[in-house]
Homo-oligomer: A and B are copies of this chain.
């Protein structure tokens, strides 16, 4: 992309040459294309996915920035979720759209808490979820979250028994309008306070402390960075 597309265009016209068949579309035209692509899609699209649909030579990233700015404060806005782009109605207008609202099942406290624990601690094992809540996690709760496709199975933890871990999905980010798990509300503060450290503290002292310490080592800092990937 040239610095001054208009000037470049004028130069081309002055040369009397017809636009080359494979020349990149003019910026305005690229913006129109971005609009069309974003409007048509229900699912968020990555910059690459968008650029792939555009004619060769288009600069989707640049055009997206222009379109994003143009839609600021409008009834429909360009948002970023899960590192992708999507159009969504402005949230202050939700009162107009009651008719479109889907009947959402109210999630139980167990389900919302479990989801939060998975989101903030991911990747996290079932045992770890249970430690945080101090109570067993019912299969129904996990099944519900899996059904909603808000969580999915992550990699197995390389500890004895190789337990499965749970992580959140792109759909989860999309539902809550998050660009990434780094944008979870208050996550930085929680991280700083050490409350997200994978510290095992059993309320009941049945476990040997050795076990606890060992687990500390295994689950320790090596795993933790995954949370913020």
Q: State the A residues within 8 Å of B (CB).
A: 1, 7, 10-11, 13-14, 16, 31-37, 39-42, 52-54, 69, 72-76, 87, 89-90, 92-93, 96-97, 99-100
Contacts and interface: CB of A to CB of B under 8 A. Distances in A.
Contact of A33 (B33, B34, B93): B93
B14 A73 contact: yes
Contacts of A89: 35-36, 39-40
A166 B37 CA distance: 37
Given A14-B90, A36-B89, 16 more contacts: A10-B73, A11-B73, A14-B73, A16-B92, A31-B75, A32-B74, A32-B90, A33-B93, A36-B76, A36-B90, A36-B96, A37-B96, A39-B75, A39-B76, A40-B96, A53-B96
Contacts of A69: 1
Contacts of A16: 92
A75 B36 contact: yes
Contacts of A73: 7, 10-11, 13-14, 32
A89 B37 CA distance: 8
A13 B92 contact: yes
